[in-house]
Amino acid sequence: MNYFRARTVDEVLGRLAERPPPRVICGATDLFADPALLPAKYEWVDISRVDALRAIERRDGMARIGSATTWEAIAATEWLPTALREAAASVGSRQIRVQGSIGGNLCHASPVADGVPPLLALDAHVELASTRGVRRLPLTEFLLGRRRTSLHADELLVAVWFALPRAQDRTAFIKCTNRDGAAIAVVSAAVRLRMSGEDTMDAVAISVGGVSETALRMRELEAAMQGQRRAGLARAIEEASLVELTPIDDCRAPAAHRIHLARLAIGRAFSHCIKETDRGVSTA
């Protein structure tokens, strides 16, 4: 086993250009929980101490979060959108949140990764770098399926960025688990909502995790909710076909239960956003 702790992005990219490339390691909370990834099998490059990958910045209406930023740091950053902070605060126990990173969550590409639904609802993009250059792509194009991403072997996920929601926008994240306390989601949902006046839904973004092989934006449901009045909300969700979802059926939850939870989570996320709109305060 060969382990290298990098201090700069260039050091990481230099190592990743070697053949065969080493494996990136950050908080190791996903990597070392996977028995297929025996440490002796790999060369490792540790990015957890690269300061440039740990910054949370806002500039010109955009938020940029370095890939090695921990969930603890994200949950504590009050100007970040509520849905993302709530997802961050729900990841595992505190021991996991101080180690686990947003980049590791996205690159591991689990269908139940808590970071994904809020970032999808925020139209997030990822920035990938190698010695060949930098490319940026929407998160929807980065996530290809269960444990599959469009990251090349020599690439590093450098940062995640998204436009900060407007002052009148509200966001929420709901996580459904099989038990109380720290637990992996069975299904989760995130909503970004802007009301027009007091009663009508104007801009709507909805994403669901844990039902299909990867978390998804619910474009058809979003279109159906556009212009919907509050009074029609519950019925619209109840009657939505949710055809975009192709539910997983396994020991943690049968397919029909996942669809039921998805409706529940979407409905609750909308209720949170509407309540926050009524309260008039915003951290989005």
Ligand X SMILES: Cc1cc2nc3c(=O)[nH]c(=O)nc-3n(C[C@H](O)[C@H](O)[C@H](O)COP(=O)(O)OP(=O)(O)OC[C@H]3O[C@@H](n4cnc5c(N)ncnc54)[C@H](O)[C@@H]3O)c2cc1C
Interface with ligand X (CB under 6 A): 23-31, 33, 47, 67, 91-92, 96, 99-101, 103-105, 107-108, 113-114, 151, 156-157, 184
CA distances to 75, 175, 216, 248 from 260, rounded to whole Å, are 28, 13, 16, 13
Q: Is 145 left (phi over 0), alpha (psi -120 to 50) or beta?
A: left
Q: Which is nearer to ligand X, 23 or 260 (CB)?
A: 23
The two three-digit tokens of residue 43, written as one number: 């060369």
Instruction: Check if the beta carbon of residue 182 is closer than 8 Å to that of residue 208.
Output: no
Closest approach of ligand X to the CB of residue 139, in Å: 14
Closest approach of ligand X to the CB of residue 99, in Å: 6
Closest approach of ligand X to the CB of residue 157, in Å: 4
Q: Which is nearer to ligand X, 28 or 144 (CB)?
A: 28
Using CB atoms within 10 Å of the CB of residue 64, give its burial: 0 to 12 exposed, 13 to 18 middle, 19+ buried: middle
Q: Which is nearer to ligand X, 115 or 165 (CB)?
A: 115
Closest approach of ligand X to the CB of residue 282, in Å: 26
Q: Which is nearer to ligand X, 23 or 252 (CB)?
A: 23
In the bound complex, which residue of the shown chain has the CB atom lying closest to ligand X?
A: 104
Q: Which is nearer to ligand X, 66 or 267 (CB)?
A: 66
Best CA proximity match to 213, nearest among 122, 116, 127, 147: 147
Phi, psi (rounded to 5 degrees) for 189: -145, 150
Q: Which is nearer to ligand X, 50 or 225 (CB)?
A: 50
Closest approach of ligand X to the CB of residue 192, in Å: 19
Closest approach of ligand X to the CB of residue 32, in Å: 7
